[in-house]
């Protein structure tokens, strides 16, 4: 009887503590001046247990980069953590002596990391081209009596994230997701040094050289500017790039980052020039082309990407739009579709439905969350995050997320929640757009219980960091559950990891 009463009292105390935490979180959001007249949704629950707090859990809100959680989870579910992309280089015709009487085809697989400098073991653009040239030399080819073709046909439709704003179109964070990506589909633009304020800044170089593009600068120098504030625009299919904004007055070049209008075409041209620099003559042109079949062509060599788990880890920790938007198209292509974003989004919905999650409020247009037109709700986000813990890839997914307060993590959350009970115990994906701030993920209470949570705030006034303050307090409240004494200001003392 005593054991029963003890268990009952403990249960009642726990329920009271949970309710108290929920009320405190509701008060935190309702009384914050930063959230006045904004729209927000908050939902948190114990993994395998009850709700902790629920505030407008099914409000339809723009999630920003929290949407990447859905894209990357669906990719892991469909392809598996160890999936690799394979880019193949073929030739047509025949090799006679040292001459290839035919064409070279670079057949894309949707690998978003080709020629990227973001992975330690992935060759960057120059290393990749040198490797391919050396393989051609090893085969013995010194002349190609044909063209260099880039086949990016694994994807279809508009390469840019759908509903991308005008100001985002040519910027690196909205780079097109091509079936043949290269160098993260971005390049650098350099403005000439200028010590006069209020004049047009002229483009004098790009890295790498963007042959065939013309640049029209409307950018002005500004002596009061501390950093550049520019946006780049191009019409898909056009070779003219327009640049707007301002840059600081400097006696050295100012660099900005831009999106390649046609990555596949760039790759074909760059490979052709690399061959010619190494005394392998190419008689024809560098073009985009899709052959009717590869059955009559010969595989020269291939290139494999890092594992999908490594790509997804970079996607989530660095919130890299290109990789997420590419994965959406990959979901379509790998399921036998045309490789369009729309078909990929349908695959994400099928994934959610397989988890028995209501997708009524899942209304999205890309894989990265780059547009404000994307809509989800917090409850479905929490349900997905909880249910994938039971999947074979569950641990891989959790550890792909930024770790709160971890200096070693070098992620979006590494500077937040340091010296709190949440540090090192919280795996959190954040999202940020104009007037949209979100976060979702996992944490552990002080007494060792696992919690899954989501919060989205839209249309707030003020600064983003003010919303971060509220969100950090929300996560701390969850992590402090079970703490027997009132926590201090969460600063000053270092934090030890709980086991």
Give the pLDDT confidence score for residue 489 in this predicted structure.
Answer: 43
The mean predicted confidence, pLDDT, of the chain is 91
Q: Is residue 484 part of a domain?
A: no
Inside any domain, residue 271:
yes
Per-residue pLDDT reduced to its tens digit, 177-208: 999 999 999 999 999 999 899 999 999 999 99
Has residue 15 got a pLDDT over 80?
Answer: no
Same domain, 295 and 339: no
Would you say 400 and 313 are in contact if contact means Cβ atoms under 8 Å apart?
yes
> What confidence category does residue 166 fall into, taking pLDDT thresholds of 50, 70 and 90?
low
Q: Are residues 273 and 392 in the same domain?
A: no
Same domain, yes or no: 313 and 283: no
* Distance of alpha carbon 81 from alpha carbon 96, whole angstroms: 43
Give the predicted TM-score (pTM) of the model. Answer: 0.91
Same domain (yes/no): 267, 325: no
Q: Is residue 221 part of a domain?
A: yes
Residue 326: CATH number of its domain: 3.40.710.10
pLDDT in tens, 42-80: 999 999 999 999 999 999 999 999 999 999 999 999 999
Residues 276 and 325 in one domain: no
Split into its structural domains, the chain has a count of: 2
* Residues 270 and 324 reside in one and the same domain: no
Q: 287 with 328, same domain?
A: no
* Domain assignment of residue 367, given as a range: 13-81+309-479
Domain for residue 494, yes or no? no
d(CA 426, CA 438): 15
pLDDT at 7 over 70: no
Preceding omega of 473 cis (within 30 degrees of 0): no
pLDDT of residue 165 exceeding 50, the answer is yes
| Per-residue model confidence (pLDDT) at position 171 | 83
8 inside domain: no
| In contact, 239 and 265? CB cutoff 8 Å | no
**pLDDT at residue 139 above 50?**
yes
pLDDT tens for 427-478 read: 999 999 999 999 999 999 999 999 999 999 999 998 999 999 999 999 999 9
Residue 409: both structure tokens together: 């993590």
With beta carbons less than 8 A apart as the criterion, state whether 417 and 405 touch.
yes
Q: What is the mean pLDDT of residues 278-287?
A: 97
| Cα(182)–Cα(148) distance, integer angstroms | 16
Report the percent of the chain where pLDDT is more than 70. 92
- Residue 19 is predicted with a pLDDT of 60
In a domain, 6, yes or no: no
Among residues 270, 304, 338, the one where a domain terminates is: 304
Final residue before a domain boundary, out of 304, 335, 370 = 304
Are 223 and 359 in the same domain? Answer: no
Helix 378-387 and helix 68-79: axis angle, to 10°?
30
Sheet strands side by side (includes 436-444): 51-55, 39-46, 450-458, 436-444, 427-433
- Two tokens, residue 410: 């070098």
Q: What is the pLDDT, as a whole number, of residue 488?
A: 44
Taking only the tens place, the pLDDT of each residue in 229-269 is: 999 988 766 789 999 999 999 999 999 999 999 999 999 99
Q: What pLDDT is attached to residue 499?
A: 40
pLDDT bracket for residue 157 (50, 70, 90): confident
Instruction: Return the CATH number at 116.
Output: 3.50.80.20
pLDDT at 491: 41
Which tokens is 171 given?
A: 């910027």
Indicate if the pLDDT at residue 174 is higher than 90: no
Asked whether residue 280 falls in the same domain as residue 133, the answer is yes
User: Is residue 485 over pLDDT 80?
Assistant: no
- Residue 5 forms part of a structural domain: no
For residue 2, being part of any structural domain is answered with no
**77 and 90 belong to one structural domain:** no
Query: 402: which 2 tokens?
Result: 């930024």
Q: Which of 265, 288, 304 is the last residue of a domain?
A: 304
Amino acid 14: pLDDT: 43
Q: SS3 for 111?
A: coil
Residues of the chain with pLDDT > 90, as a percent, come to 83
The separation between the first and the last C-alpha atoms of the chain, rounded to the nearest angstrom, is: 33
Asked whether residue 288 falls in the same domain as residue 347, the answer is no
Contacts of 293 (CB under 8 A, 6+ apart): none
User: Do 125 and 204 fall into the same domain?
Assistant: yes
Peptide bond just before 112 cis, omega within 30 deg: no
What tokens were used for 24? Answer: 């405190």
């Amino acid at each position: 009887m005593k054991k029963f009463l003890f268990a009952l009292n403990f249960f009642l105390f726990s329920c009271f503590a949970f309710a108290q935490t929920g009320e405190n979180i509701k008060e935190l959001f309702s009384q914050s001046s930063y959230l006045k007249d904004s729209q927000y949704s908050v939902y948190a629950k114990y993994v395998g247990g009850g709700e902790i707090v629920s505030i407008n859990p099914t409000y339809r809100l723009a999630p920003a980069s929290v949407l990447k959680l859905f894209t990357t989870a669906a990719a892991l579910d469909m392809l598996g953590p160890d999936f690799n992309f394979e880019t193949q280089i073929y030739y047509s015709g025949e090799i006679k002596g040292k001459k290839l009487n035919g064409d070279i085809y670079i057949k894309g697989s949707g690998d978003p990391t080709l020629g990227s400098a973001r992975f330690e073991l992935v060759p960057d653009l120059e290393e990749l081209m040198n490797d391919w040239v050396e393989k051609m030399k090893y085969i013995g080819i010194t002349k190609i009596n044909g063209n260099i073709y880039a086949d990016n046909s694994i994807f279809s439709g508009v390469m840019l994230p759908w509903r991308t704003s005008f100001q985002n179109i040519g910027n690196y964070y909205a780079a097109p997701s091509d079936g043949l990506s290269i160098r993260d589909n971005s390049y650098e633009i350099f403005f000439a040094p200028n010590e006069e304020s209020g004049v047009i800044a002229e483009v004098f170089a790009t890295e790498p050289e963007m042959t065939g593009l013309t640049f029209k600068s409307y950018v002005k120098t500004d002596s009061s500017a501390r950093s550049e504030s520019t946006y780049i625009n191009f019409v898909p299919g056009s070779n003219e790039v327009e640049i707007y904004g301002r840059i600081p007055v400097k006696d050295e070049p100012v660099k900005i980052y831009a999106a390649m209008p046609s990555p596949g075409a760039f790759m074909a041209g760059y490979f052709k020039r690399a061959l010619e620099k190494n005394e392998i003559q190419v008689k024809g042109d560098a073009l985009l082309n899709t052959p009717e079949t590869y059955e009559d062509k010969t595989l020269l060599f291939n290139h494999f990407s890092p594992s999908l788990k490594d790509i997804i880890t970079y996607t989530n920790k660095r919130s890299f739009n290109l990789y997420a938007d590419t994965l959406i198209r990959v979901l379509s292509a790998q399921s036998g579709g045309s490789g369009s974003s729309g078909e990929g989004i349908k695959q994400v919905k099928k994934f959610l439905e397989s988890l028995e999650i209501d997708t009524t409020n899942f209304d999205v247009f890309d894989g990265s969350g780059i547009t404000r037109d994307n809509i989800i709700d917090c409850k479905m986000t929490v349900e997905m995050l909880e249910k994938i813990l039971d999947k074979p890839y569950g641990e891989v997914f959790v550890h792909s997320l930024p770790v709160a307060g971890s200096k070693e993590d070098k992620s979006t959350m590494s500077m937040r929640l340091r010296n709190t009970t949440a540090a090192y115990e919280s795996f959190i994906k954040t999202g940020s757009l104009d007037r949209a701030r979100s976060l979702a993920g996992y944490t552990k209470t002080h007494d060792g219980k696992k919690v899954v949570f989501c919060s989205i705030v839209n249309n707030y006034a003020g600064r983003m960091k003010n919303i971060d303050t509220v969100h950090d307090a929300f996560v701390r409240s969850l992590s402090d559950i079970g703490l027997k004494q009132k926590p201090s200001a969460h600063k000053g003392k270092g934090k030890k990891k709980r086991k």
